[in-house]
Amino acid sequence: MAGNPQKILIVGAGIVGLYLAWQLSLKGHKVFVCEKRSKEGSWKKSCSTLVSERIRDFIPMDDSFIENKISGCLINFPKKTVRLDFRPIHLVLSRPAVLSRLLELAQKEGAEVSFEKDIKKTPEGFDKIIGCDGALSKVRENFGLSNPRFRLGIQFFQKGKDGSDFVETWPTKNGFCWRIPRGEETEWGMLEDPETALARFKEFLKNKDIPFGDGQGSFPAALVPSGLVLPKDKNITLCGDAAGLAKPWSGGGLIWGLKAASILLETFPDFEAYSRKTKRFFTFRIIKGRIADTAVHFLGKRLPFLLPDKIKYDNDFPVL
Domain residue extents for the chain: 7-313
* Residue 10: pLDDT over 60: yes
Q: What is the pLDDT of residues 130-177, one digit of tens each?
A: 999 999 999 999 998 989 999 999 999 999 999 899 999 999 999 999
3-class SS letters over 186-249: EEEEEEECCCCHHHHHHHHHHHCCCCCCCCCCCCCEEEEEECCCCCCCCCEEECHHHHCCCCCC
- pLDDT at res. 320: 61
Distance CA 151, CA 191 (A): 6
Q: What does the chain come to in residues? A: 320
* 114-118, 212-216, 260-264, 265-269: range with lowest mean pLDDT: 212-216
DSSP H/E element including 44? none
Give me the mean pLDDT over the 260-281 stretch. Answer: 98
Distance CA 195, CA 203 (A): 14
Distance CA 307, CA 13 (A): 41
Residues 6+ apart with CB under 8 A from 268: 24, 27, 128, 274
Q: What is the pLDDT of residues 94-132, one digit of tens each?
A: 999 999 999 999 999 999 999 999 888 888 899 999 999
With cut-offs at 50, 70 and 90, classify the pLDDT of residue 216.
very low
**SS3 state of residue 296:** helix
Q: Which residues of 21-59 are buried (b: 16+ CB within 10 A; e: fewer)?
A: bbbbbbeebbbbbbbbbebeebbeebbbbbbbebbeebb
Cβ-contact 281, 263 below 8 angstroms: yes
Distance in Å from the first CA to the final CA of the chain: 42
**SS3 state of residue 2:** coil
Q: What is the pLDDT of residues 13-69, one digit of tens each?
A: 999 999 999 999 999 999 999 999 988 877 776 789 999 999 999 999 999 999 999
- pLDDT at res. 260: 98
Distance, C-alpha 52 to centroid of its chain: 12
Cβ-contact 115, 33 below 8 angstroms: no
Cβ-contact 189, 196 below 8 angstroms: no
- pLDDT at res. 213: 54
* Residue 224: pLDDT over 70: yes
Q: Using a pLDDT cut of 70, give the percent of the chain over it.
A: 97
Give me the mean pLDDT over the 227-234 stretch. Answer: 95
- Quick one: angle between helices 254-267 and 15-26, nearest 10? 30
- pLDDT at res. 114: 95
- Quick one: angle between helices 95-108 and 15-26, nearest 10? 20
- pLDDT at res. 42: 75
With cut-offs at 50, 70 and 90, classify the pLDDT of residue 3.
low
Among the listed residues 208, 206, 204, the one whose alpha carbon sits nearest the alpha carbon of residue 190? 204
Cβ-contact 160, 182 below 8 angstroms: no
In degrees, rounded to 5, the angle at the alpha carbon of residue 275 between the alpha carbons of residues 42 and 320 is 85
Q: Using a pLDDT cut of 90, give the percent of the chain over it.
A: 86
Among the listed residues 255, 244, 252, the one whose alpha carbon sits nearest the alpha carbon of residue 135? 244
Using CA atoms, how far residue 143 sits from 26, 126, 149, 224, in Å, is 29, 17, 17, 20
The class (CATH top level) of 7-313 is alpha beta
The per-residue pLDDT of the chain, averaged, comes to: 93
Among the listed residues 245, 249, 212, the one whose alpha carbon sits nearest the alpha carbon of residue 228? 245
